Amino acid sequence: MSDEESGWHLTESDPGVFTELLKSLGVPYIVDDLYSLDPDSLAALQPIRALVFLFKWLPQSDTEPDPSLSSGSGAQYDPDFPGFFAHQVVNNACATLAVMNALGNIPSLPSGPQLQELFSFTTGMDAQTRGLVITSSDWLREAHNALSPPSAISLDGLGLPKTSEDAYHFIVYMPAMGCVYEFDGLKSHPIRHGVYEEKGEGWIAKAREVVEARIATYPQGSLEFSLLALREDPLPIIQSRLKQLQDAGRGNDSEAAELFVRLSNENSKRERWAFENSVRRHNHLGFIHALLVAMAKAGKLQPAAEGARTKMQERIARRKEVGMDLDE
């Protein structure tokens, strides 16, 4: 089914968007950017429920290697996986599909009734059918589409050449039944990467190996990627611990001070996400029009247009030098 026929809009893949989706699904988890896989960075974010690796190949790279099975530590397809695994049936739904593959394998997941119903309805189905059920789920599609810019001026269906703003490819790594699993909606089955030890970092240690091995299989500079962590929302935990300390008269000691810092960081992050989502979802047509009219009335539109023409010519000249396609 084409993206246009499916009614699923392409969404951005940033933590604020994912967290908003989780909220609308009634799941008290958040998604954060991971800038590093080192133990200290990850420890600060525990408990982490799943890692999401998103990437796209850059134009100059060669044909895709299939590095999932190259980590050498007994990675193999698991066609008999009893947990949740759905195929990606519509490209634009890729972000939500990855989230579903992660959430579907978290035991005792707190969630809203619609999500619970969806998971129980799809019990025992094969991956393709699950993918189709997810894709035809109206309420889920609406929750997904609510994250993207309004479709009043959607470019779908206008037949414009696709730019490199295409969808990322999403892969979920998480623990299931004592092993680290890889869920890739474009692969036929989940991939089992082997057992992990409960002690210390737990499954994260194994997952780190797998992800680093994967990244290493791509030629230098050929990959654009991000790592995200799906984790429990720390805000209520910080708040209740702080209250505990304050009630015990320890509101001024170092633990409380540290918690205040974390609380303040979390809050400003949420505010930033709320701001970005608000701007992202808004139809800016009226604003754009009003800004241009204001520029015109102030006599600034003509000079700005002249400047814009010059900039465009410079840009075209630079790209011709470098030999790039303008529509990139």
Partner 1 sequence: MASATILAFKAGRAFRREGTNFVDHSSEKGAIILQKGEDELLHLIWRNRSTNEVEEDLILFPGDASFVKIPQVTGGRSYVLKFSSSNQRHFFWMQDASISRDDEFVKNLNLVLEDPDRIPVWQIGSSSQPQASTSQAGSSRSAAAPSGTTPEQLAQLRSLVQSMSGNVPQGEPELSLNDILTPENLIPLFRSHPDLVPALFPHLPPDLPTQPSEEVMQQIISSPQFRAAVRNFDQALRTGMLGGLVRGLGLPEEAGTGVEAFLRAIQEQASGEDRMETD
Catalytic sites, residue numbers: 94, 169
Per rule CB under 8 A, is residue 260 in the interface with partner 1?
Answer: no
In the complex, what is the shortest distance from the CB of residue 274 to partner 1, in angstroms, rounded to a whole number?
A: 4
Q: Which residues pair with 172 in a beta bridge?
A: 52, 183
Per-residue b or e along 87-118, where b marks 16 or more CB atoms closer than 10 Å to that residue's CB: bbbbbbbbbbbbbbbbbbbbeebebeeebeeb
Q: Does 324 bind partner 1 (CB under 8 A)?
A: no
Are the C-beta atoms of residues 213 and 70 closer than 8 Å to each other? Answer: yes
Question: How many whole angstroms from its chain centre is CA 167?
Answer: 11
Considering the complex, what minimum distance in angstroms separates the CB of residue 164 from partner 1? 13
For residue 146, state whether it binds partner 1 (rule: CB under 8 A).
Answer: no
DSSP H or E segment with residue 128 = helix 127-135
Among 243, 250, 284, 318, binds partner 1 (CB under 8 A): 284
| 300: contact with partner 1 by CB under 8 A | yes
Q: Which helix (H) or strand (E) holds 62?
A: none
Q: Minimum distance between the CB of residue 267 and partner 1, rounded to whole angstroms?
A: 10
Beta bridge partners of 170: 54
318 contributes a contact to partner 1 by CB under 8 A: no
The burial class, CB within 10 Å (0-12 / 13-18 / 19+), for 136 is middle
279 counts as binding partner 1 under rule CB under 8 A: yes
Using CB under 8 A, which of the segments 18-26, 166-174, 204-212, 283-291 binds partner 1?
Answer: 283-291
Q: Judged by CB under 8 A, how many residues of this single chain contact partner 1? A: 43
| Spatial contact of 127 and 85, defined as CB atoms under 8 Å apart | yes
Q: Residues 6 or more apart from 291 whose CB is under 8 A from it?
A: none
* Side chain identity, residue 277: N
Binding positions for partner 1, 184-203, rule CB under 8 A: none
Figure out which of the listed residues 38, 66, 120, 158 binds partner 1, where binding follows CB under 8 A. Answer: 158
Residue 43 as a binder of partner 1 (CB under 8 A): the answer is no
Per rule CB under 8 A, is residue 311 in the interface with partner 1? Answer: yes
User: What gap in Å lies between CA 105 and CA 173, rounded to an integer?
Assistant: 11
282 near partner 1, judged by CB under 8 A: yes
Q: From the CB of 228, what's the least distance to partner 1, in Å?
A: 18
| Interacting residue ranges for partner 1, rule: CB under 8 A | 149, 152-153, 155, 158, 160-161, 271, 274-276, 278-282, 284-298, 300-302, 304-305, 307-309, 311-312, 316, 326
